Chains A and B, each alone.
Chain A
Amino acid sequence: MAKRAAPEVNAGSMADIAFLLLIFFLVTTTIEKDKGILRSLPPIDETNAEPPIIKEKNLFTVLINRNNQLLVEEDEMKLKDLRQAAIEFLDNGGGTNAEGERCDYCKGKRDPSSSDHPDKAIISMKHDRETSYEKYIEVQNELVAAYNYLREREAKRLYGKYYPNEDKVFEAMLAEKEKNQFKKDEVLNERIETIKKLFPMKLSEAEPDKS
């Protein structure tokens, strides 16, 4: 029997089918864009060790009451002033750290009644059970912003020369680390750690009172 040529399949509707699928996926797609504030919780300490004594001047207390009002260092404060107040507190450098070194990179007022050294400065935050989560996040955001501002300043001072075109040096460093996550860049990691050590994030949260 003579071999007949197979009849050609009409591919004209292929585009229609593909379009149908395409529209389905277009509609169901949600490009994930989750972002957030990353924080570490303190581990539970089972050894009943005495908590270290912290001088009042090294402690920056932030209280939020149930009506979402802020009390910072015994004074009522507006949220927009919190960042600056926290920066001034952390950057004060009025005394010496545990090793007896003065904070030579601090640009604060060196007020002896405020924090001694960024190493020792602790921000303590406490909220009421009925504080709204929105306010809580806003306060967290401002406090983290204070640390980021100071770290950014130090990054610019120390490593700005390696990133001449960057506006935000510390962010650029972190972005670079993110980009090279599969090949370790020891120098970069060391620089980031140095910056973090200059202004260690000591942000403690007290548990709200049980009412």
Chain B
Amino acid sequence: MSKFKNKKQGDLPAISTASLPDIVFMLLFFFMVATVMRDSSLMIENVLPTADQVEKLKKDRTTFIYAGKPSESFKRFGTEPRIQINDVFVGIEDIQPAVLQAQADLTEELQSKIVVGLKVDKRTNAGLVSDIKQELREANTLKVMYIVNAATQQ
């Protein structure tokens, strides 16, 4: 009896870990491909409003404009809501050149389809947003998307 037992215990084969690197590499490549590095760090508070009638954003043709109160570490810019494009605070008069620049950077077939994504903090006054929209109208980039947190549809 004991003879059998001993033999069996000794025979337990070790699980081969040779394929572990392959599996890990597979995961690694997936995340490398799926990763999008943040291209601008936010200097404003940015709590988006909520809505349920949403459409997906087409990333290839979108440029973003942020607006909101300067966040905790940027208190020196005051407490009034500010506009941020890329990495800097801009005035209302800088929107047009920035948007036109973004439009020029797109590929030719997408230039006419440019969408401006507005990521605006929900505690901002709507007046600031209509100022931005007026500038966008003057720049003739007429498609805007109000970026929101998507609520589940009822």
Using a CB–CB cutoff of 8 Å, the interface residues on chain A facing chain B are: 11, 14-15, 18-19, 21-22, 25-26, 28-44, 64, 127-138, 140-141, 144-145, 148, 178, 205, 207-208
CB distance from A25 to the nearest CB of B (A): 4
| Residue contact B127 to A130, C-beta cutoff 8 Å | yes
- B49 contacts which of A32, A134, A208 (Cβ < 8 Å)? A134
User: Please, how many angstroms separate the alpha-carbon atoms of A135 and B126 in the complex?
Assistant: 9
Name the interface residues of B126-147: CB closer than 8 Å to any CB of A: 126-130, 133-134, 136-138, 140, 142-147
Nearest 8 A/B pairs, CB to CB: A129-B127, A134-B122, A25-B31, A141-B51, A36-B145, A35-B54, A36-B147, A137-B49
CB distance from A209 to the nearest CB of B (A): 10
**B56 at interface, CB cutoff 8 A:** yes
By beta carbon, the residue of chain B nearest A146 is B53
By beta carbon, the residue of chain B nearest A147 is B53
20 A-B pairs, CB-CB below 8 angstroms? A14-B21, A29-B35, A35-B54, A36-B146, A37-B55, A38-B144, A40-B144, A42-B142, A43-B142, A44-B137, A44-B138, A127-B126, A132-B124, A133-B120, A133-B123, A134-B123, A135-B126, A137-B148, A140-B146, A178-B56
In the complex, chain A residues whose CB is within 8 Å of the CB of B145: 36-39
| Residue contact B115 to A38, C-beta cutoff 8 Å | yes
User: Please, how many angstroms separate the alpha-carbon atoms of A43 and B51 in the complex?
Assistant: 26
User: Please, how many angstroms separate the alpha-carbon atoms of A207 and B137 in the complex?
Assistant: 12
CB distance from A192 to the nearest CB of B (A): 13
Decide yes or no: A41 and B142 within 8 Å by CB, A15-B20, A15-B24 being known contacts. Answer: yes
Using a CB–CB cutoff of 8 Å, the interface residues on chain B facing chain A are: 17, 20-21, 24-25, 27-28, 31-32, 34-38, 49-57, 59, 115, 117-118, 120-130, 133-134, 136-138, 140, 142-148, 150
By beta carbon, the residue of chain A nearest B67 is A133
By beta carbon, the residue of chain B nearest A206 is B130
Q: Which of B51, B55, B120 has the most CB of A within 10 A?
A: B51
Decide yes or no: A133 and B124 within 8 Å by CB, A25-B28, A34-B57, A35-B55 being known contacts. Answer: yes
| Residue contact B150 to A208, C-beta cutoff 8 Å | no
| Residue contact B115 to A31, C-beta cutoff 8 Å | no
Decide yes or no: A37 and B54 within 8 Å by CB, A32-B36, A134-B49 being known contacts. Answer: yes
CB distance from A136 to the nearest CB of B (A): 4
Q: Which of B28, B34, B53, B59 has the most CB of A within 10 A?
A: B53
| Residue contact A37 to B146, C-beta cutoff 8 Å | yes
| Residue contact B122 to A37, C-beta cutoff 8 Å | no
CB distance from B19 to the nearest CB of A (A): 10
| Residue contact B53 to A37, C-beta cutoff 8 Å | yes
Decide yes or no: A141 and B55 within 8 Å by CB, A15-B21, A39-B145, A136-B129 being known contacts. Answer: no
By beta carbon, the residue of chain B nearest A39 is B144
| Residue contact A11 to B21, C-beta cutoff 8 Å | yes
| Residue contact A131 to B25, C-beta cutoff 8 Å | no
By beta carbon, the residue of chain A nearest B140 is A43
User: Please, how many angstroms separate the alpha-carbon atoms of A196 and B125 in the complex?
Assistant: 32
By beta carbon, the residue of chain A nearest B129 is A133
| Residue contact A132 to B123, C-beta cutoff 8 Å | yes
User: Please, how many angstroms separate the alpha-carbon atoms of A148 and B53 in the complex?
Assistant: 8
| Residue contact A36 to B148, C-beta cutoff 8 Å | yes
14 additional contacts (CB under 8 A) given A39-B144, A131-B125: A18-B21, A26-B31, A28-B37, A33-B150, A42-B142, A127-B126, A130-B126, A134-B123, A137-B49, A137-B50, A141-B51, A148-B53, A205-B130, A207-B134
